[in-house]
Structure formats: structure tokens, C-alpha cells
Amino acid sequence: MRIQGCLRSVLVALAVASTALVSPACSKSPQITAESIEDNWALTEQHEPGSVVMTVAQDGQVTVLVKDRDGKPIEEGVSGNVKVKVPGKEGAPVTAELVPEPKAGGVLLAKIPPLEDDLTEVNYEFNVKGAPFKGVLHVPRGGTRELHEKAKENDAHKLDGMKGPNGGVLQPVGDDIVEIVGDKDSGDLRVYVLDLNLKPVPIGDREIKLAIQTASGPDVIVLAPGPDRLYFTGKLNVKVNPTKITVVVKEGGHTDVVLCGYHPGSVIVVGPSAPVITVLVATGWAVKVDVKPTVIVHDDDDDDGRVIIVHKHKHRHKHKGKGHWKW
């Protein structure tokens, strides 16, 4: 009996040892591969020589896959880095070199500091068999996943192709719809908050900034409240229509960040062939702001399909309809 007990102990020890030998090999399997990267909240930017598929996670993990013009992953001959300036800290930007991920079909990894600001500028510069790929992403604390999820939420708003009351670009941001519009002669920029009827309303205690990409490079514009807080105002440093706009809206301790016009799974064209977002128009700023707006409160405690309407003079009544806007 004692011999059998010893033998049993030896067998258990061998089993544990063999498991320990196998486990590290299993743990080294790539979490993201060329086949799965696009299902992990990646953004795809189309360049002239090919495309860059990239994820940026909240912890600073960057995952990259470069594809050729035919959409095939390029597994060899890719090098480069991503560069980020840590918000609130002086000094040179932090640079992280790309490192190939074994057995991942061309996926490369880099590690930057964790995303701690409401908006972080991530520059990338790759060399792909002699061809340069350069670009910029502006990502929120939640990284590319947050941009993807916000875009999915915004798909319920049917605003594509519609113009704002001043002729500007419409963009859902959280529970708001904003109009981004600039004067083509002066470069003066305004952002209006709109109601359900796409009419301008006072901005309240909101704060807004825009990350704008043009052929001259990226620029972040912190907008200031206009007179009587009826709209936001700023100025374009270069009087050209941008190719990308990332919008940040802060209100009551909550922040929403969206990539203007982006839909989940769509490809963002960058470089010389990138289409522009037409914010510059001939405007006389003649549209008036409704200083007594209707505010929608998404509250349906009795599950009757109605939401509470609160007017500026504070009376409340029920309104039939869904709690989210659809156009």
C-alpha cells in the first residue's frame, strides 16, 4: 500500500511538471493575428501603397498590420515606430519601435504609455519595403475600441449627407448633435449644439475641442464659449477643409469622443487622395439660437415607451416616442 501511495505521488508530480512545460508554449500564442485584428476594434487607414490596420488599447498596447494594395498582409519588410506626446508632461515625445509578433501573420506590436487624457495624439511612421506610411490617430482614453463603439452607437442617427442650419457638418456626439462650420474667408470656426429639430440651442456648461487633420498636419483646437454661451468659437490655423476631425465634448464630468463621419468597419482614406470634410462655407452667421430649448431626459420608469420632456421653465410632461433620436 505504501508503495502504491508513493507511485501515485510520483505520477501526480510528473503530470504537474508536464503541464508546467506545456503551459508557457500555449501562453505564447498570439492574441491578435492577421485574421482577427479587424475584429478587435481596429481602425484602417488607406494610403497610396496599401493600408494600415491599427489598434490602440487603453493600457498603451499598439497592434499594427500593414496590407498591400490587394488587401493581403505584408509579413516581412515592415519596420517603424509609433510616437506619442504624453499629455501634461514636458520633453520629447515617447517613441516605441514596432516588434514583430511571432506566428501572427505579419502583426507587429509596440507599447506606449497608458492613455490617460481625454485625447491623445498617436503618430505612426512605417517603412514597408522602401515605401513610407505616415499617419496620425487621435484616440480617447478607451483607445480605438471607444471610437469604434461610439461610431456604432451613432449609426442610429441618420445624418449622412445632411447639412446644419449654417451649412456646416453634422455629427452626433453622445446625447448631442453638433454642427461644425467655418467661414471660408476668415477661417473663423463655430460649433453649435442642436436640438431634435436641428435648431441651435445654448451650449450650457459643455466644453468642446477638435482635433483636425489637414495636408499641413494635425492641429488641436480648444474652442471658447461665444457671446452668451450660444455657440463655441475658434479659428482654423490653415484655411482649408480638413480630411479628419475628432470631436471631444465634455459635460458634467462625462466625456464623449467621436471620429467625425466614421462608421464601424469603414476605411479612412488618408494622404493626397483623402476626401475633405466641407466645414468652410460662405456664411453670414444669420441663424438664431433658441434660448428656450426643449431638453430630452431619457427616463421611462413605467416602461410605457414614452420619455419625459423638460422645458426651460421646468414643467414636465410625457411624450410618445423612443428615447433615442433617429433621423
Q: How does residue 163 score in pLDDT terms, banded at 50, 70 and 90?
A: very high
User: For residue range 34-46, what is the model confidence (pLDDT) as tens digits?
Assistant: 899 988 899 999 9
Which residues on adjacent β-strands are paired with residue 201?
193
CB contact set of 22 (below 8 Å; sequence gap of 6+): none
The mean per-residue pLDDT over the stretch 100-111 comes to: 95
R_g over Cα of the chain: 25
C-alpha distances in Å from residue 307, one per residue of 35, 78, 200, 251, 322:
43, 54, 22, 21, 7
In three-state secondary structure terms, 324 is coil
Partners of 320 in the beta sheet? 306
Q: Which of 11-25, 131-145, 281-295 has the lowest mean pLDDT?
A: 11-25
* pLDDT digits 0-9 by tens, 120-158: 999 999 999 999 999 999 999 999 999 999 999 988 777
Query: What one-character-per-residue DSSP string does 115-133 give?
Result: --SS-EEEEEEEEETTEEE
List domains and CATH numbers for the chain: 37-142 (2.60.40.10), 155-281 (2.60.40), 292-327 (no CATH)
The per-residue pLDDT for 291 is 77
What per-residue confidence (pLDDT) applies to 234?
97
Q: Is the pLDDT of residue 101 over 80?
A: yes
Cβ-contact 54, 43 below 8 angstroms: yes
CA-to-CA separations, 186 to 137, 206, 280, in angstroms, rounded: 28, 25, 10
Is residue 270 pLDDT above 90, yes or no? yes
Range in 69-78, 159-168, 204-213 with the lowest mean pLDDT: 159-168
CA separation, residue 221 to residues 35, 51, 142, 251 (Å): 37, 28, 21, 17
DSSP character at residue 228: G
- pLDDT value, residue 30: 67
* Cell 493581403, residue located: 72
Please tell me the predicted confidence (pLDDT) of residue 327.
40
Q: Is 186 helix (H, G, I), strand (E, B) or coil?
A: coil
Nearest in space to 311 (alpha carbons), one of 290, 298, 323, 293? 293
End-to-end CA distance of the chain: 79
**Band (236; pLDDT cuts 50, 70, 90):** very high
Flag whether pLDDT at 312 surpasses 60. no
State the CB neighbour count (10 A cutoff) for residue 310. Answer: 15
Lowest mean pLDDT among 14-18, 214-218, 245-249: 14-18
Confidence (pLDDT) at 88? 67
Residue 137: the pLDDT is 98
Indicate if the alpha-carbon torsion angle 241, 247, 251, 253 is positive or negative: negative
User: Where is pLDDT greater, at 22 or 138?
Assistant: 138
What is the predicted pLDDT for the residue at 303? 53
pLDDT digits (tens, 9 = 90+) for 170-225: 999 998 999 999 999 999 999 999 998 899 999 999 999 999 999 999 999 999 99
pTM of the model: 0.80
Question: What percent of the chain shows pLDDT beyond 90?
Answer: 66
CB of 67 closer than 8 Å to CB of 74: yes
Distance CA 59, CA 114 (A): 4
Task: Return phi, psi of residue 124, to 5°.
Answer: -125, 145
Which pairing describes strands 176-183 and 280-281: parallel, antiparallel, or unpaired?
parallel
Give the cell for residue 156.
442610429
pLDDT confidence of residue 294: 53
Model pLDDT, residue 9? 52
Amino acid at 172: P
User: Could you tell me whether strands 316-320 and 224-225 are parallel, antiparallel, or unpaired per DSSP bridges?
Assistant: unpaired
- Stretch 226-239: mean pLDDT: 94
What percentage of the chain exceeds 70 in pLDDT? 79
Mean pLDDT of 65-74: 96
